[in-house]
Amino acid sequence: MLFRIARFEQLRRFHVSRRHSKILEWIKSAAAIETENSFAPELIEKMHKIDKMSPARYFLIYRDPGAAHSHGIMAIAAPLAIFGFSLLVFDLALSEEAEWMASTKKLTKDIREIGYFSIVPGITFLLVVATLIRFQQLRVMRIYQDKKSPQNFHAIVTKSFCFKAKYNFTRGECIPLIPYEGPNAWRQLITTTYMGTTRFKDRNFLLNDDKFRTNSHRSYMLNETSGVPRFK
C-alpha cells in the first residue's frame, strides 16, 4: 500500500513537472519572438501588408514586437473589462439585492467585510491599470520612412486603448526628451513610463533604440545626423 502511494506521488510529481516544463517552453518560445530578427524579409513583407504600406514607397526602420503583442492583449482585455464592469454597474443599479448575480453578491460581501480597507486594493488596482494603459499608449509598434520624402515618417501606434492608428510626423517634428539621470531609480522609471523618451509633433512616445533597423536610421530621424540612410 505504501509502495502504491509512493508510486502515485512520484507519477503526480512527474506530470506536474512535465506540465511546468511545457509552460516554461511556451514562455521561452514567446520570449524568443522578441529576440528574433525583427527585419527578416518575410516579416517585413507581413508588416507592410498588415499596415497597408507600400514596400515600393515606404521603408520599415523600426519594429517593436513586444509593443505589438501587448497591443493585441489590450485589444482583447479592454473590451472584456469594460463589458464586465458595465454588467456590475447595471446589476447594482437596476436589480434588487436578492436578484444580484453571484459575482456581484460575492464582491459586495467582500467589500462589506473588509470595510474601508477595501479602498487600498481598489486604488492600487486603478493605478496599475492606468499605468499599463499609459505605457501602451506611449509604445510605438512600427515606424516607416518615406523613400521619396525621407524627412517624412509614419508611426503605427495605439489609439483609444485597443485600436491602431497611423501617426504621421516629419523629421523636424521629432524631438528627443531630456531623460532623468539622477540617483532615484523610481523617479527615472516613473518619468520614462509616463513621459516617454521622444516627442513626435504634439504627442510623446517611448522608443527603444535596439528596435531600430540600423543606428543610421535612428540618428537621422532624431536629427543627430544629416545624411539620409540607405533604404536597403
Q: What is the pLDDT of residues 101-158, one digit of tens each?
A: 888 888 788 778 777 777 888 788 888 888 888 889 999 999 999 999 999 999 999 9
- Grid coordinates representing 24 are 516554461
Q: What is the pLDDT of residue 212?
A: 96
**Please, which pLDDT band fits residue 95 given cuts at 50, 70 and 90?**
confident
What sign results for the dihedral spanned by CA atoms 92, 96, 97, 99?
A: negative
User: What percentage of the chain has pLDDT greater than the value 70?
Assistant: 82
pTM: 0.75
Q: Tell me the average pLDDT across 148-171.
A: 93
Residue 150 Cα distances to 52, 56, 57, 60, 107, angstroms: 19, 13, 10, 12, 56
Alpha-carbon distance 11 to 7, whole Å? Answer: 6
Q: What is the pLDDT of residue 180?
A: 62
Q: Which residue did the predictor score with more confidence, 30 or 74?
A: 74
How is the beta sheet containing 203-205 ordered, strand by strand?
A: 174-176, 198-200, 203-205
pLDDT tens, position by position, 172-203: 999 998 766 667 777 777 777 788 999 999 89
